[in-house]
A = this chain, B = another copy of it.
Amino acid sequence: MNNSVTLKDIAKALNLSISTISKSLNDSHEISTDTKKLVLDYAQKHHYLPNRMAKGLKEGKSRSIGVVVCSLENNFAAQMLDGIDSASTDKSYQIIIMQSKESQKQERACIELLYAGGVDGILISPACETVDFSYLQSLQDSGLPVVLFDRLSDEIETHKVGADNFKGAYDATVHLIKNGYKSIAHLNTNTILNIATERLNGYKQALEEYKLPYRADFLRSCDYTDTKKLNADLEESIKYYMSLKKRPDAILTSTDQISTRCLALLNKLGYKIPEDIALIGFTNTDLADAFNPPLTTVHQPAFEIGQLAASKLISLIEKKSQEPEYETILLDTTIQVRASTRARK
């Protein structure tokens, strides 16, 4: 730690007791205006800053919250982190960010570190590998507030904040249908994440409502844990689609990476978008309009998800007394129409 000035130093310098200094700095009513001013001036002048660790130790809380995401490099995660940071800073909480790198084991390590670090609560978007929430559950049972965001799971009961993935996929599929596409494929992840099944269900629901058949061979899952594997899976899937007798005329992709890689691969394989095949994808990249062609996207309110999740966690932290009514909040997605889904003639 740094050798900053402490209460003791000020006390000595001003010939007052430590507690008088403490009270002055905390603007206690039981201190005279004169001494207060004296202390405050001295503190200001010597750049006094309360030691966070001492305060935390004393008060039994650290005013810090732990955040676990799959990866910092993930643009979507970064947008949510920005929202989390915004809400936390507003309420003067510090955030400690950890990466699970989609590994359940590493995620567990992150949580332990955060717990040991004395965080007042945990915000987590689980690794796609994660199936076991018992550790998190036990922490919660022992009094540590936990809030899930983005990737929600039924395995743990708490506040959850995410996007309305069902509706997003539904809207995307309807958008394609209304633009004249009738054979719509769906590229998803191979994970057991809820967001994957919800998106699949939204897609199915739209097909059903518009009396289009659901074809099992139009649904492909790609390995999400490894980028190389994902690319390989994607390329194989695209080739497979295009080799079908009745091949799809559009694809709905379900994650950031799948959407952008799919577009790049279609280009690489020489297919014209949307003439040969249209594409709409879940992604929050702000580069969609630089793509070839500009990509129609399903945009998720990432910043807001982070912000809301952090607010929920903080309110949980600050009024632990009441038994909370846990709620699941789904924020609306929006379709951003661009050239990759131009109306079919």
Contact = CB atoms under 8 A, between A and B. Distances in A.
Interface of A: 1-4, 49-54, 56-57, 60-62, 71-73, 75, 78-79, 81-82, 85, 94-97, 99, 112-113, 115-120, 139, 142-144, 260-261, 263-264, 267-268, 285, 287, 289-294
A82 B99 CA distance: 9
A268 B82 CA distance: 29
B118 A1 contact: yes
A263 B287 CA distance: 10
Contacts of A142: 2-4
A260 B1 contact: no
Please provide the 4 A-B residue pairs with the shortest distance between their CB atoms, ordered closest to farther. A292-B292, A49-B116, A264-B290, A53-B53
A62 B120 CA distance: 17
Contact of A2 (B49, B118, B287, B294): B118
B75 A71 contact: no
Contacts of A54: 53, 57
Given A117-B52, A285-B287, A290-B292, A60 B1 contact: yes
A62 B267 CA distance: 50
Copies in the complex: 2
Contacts of A1: 56, 60-62, 118, 120
B73 A82 contact: yes
B72 A85 contact: yes
Contacts of A71: 82
A2 B144 contact: yes
A33 to B, nearest CB: 26
Nearest to A52: B117
A92 to B, nearest CB: 9
Given A49-B115, A94-B96, A78 B82 contact: no
B61 A72 contact: no
Contact of A73 (B3, B62, B78, B294): B78
A5 to B, nearest CB: 10
A2 B75 CA distance: 32
Given A99-B82, A264-B289, A290-B260, A118 B52 contact: yes
B53 A62 contact: yes
Contacts of A285: 287
Residue from A73, A143, A144, A292 whose CB has the most chain B CB atoms within 10 Å: A73
A102 B334 CA distance: 29
27 contacts: A1-B56, A1-B118, A2-B118, A3-B142, A4-B142, A49-B112, A51-B57, A51-B116, A52-B118, A53-B56, A53-B62, A71-B82, A72-B72, A72-B82, A73-B78, A73-B79, A75-B75, A82-B99, A94-B113, A95-B96, A96-B96, A97-B97, A263-B290, A264-B287, A264-B290, A287-B291, A291-B291
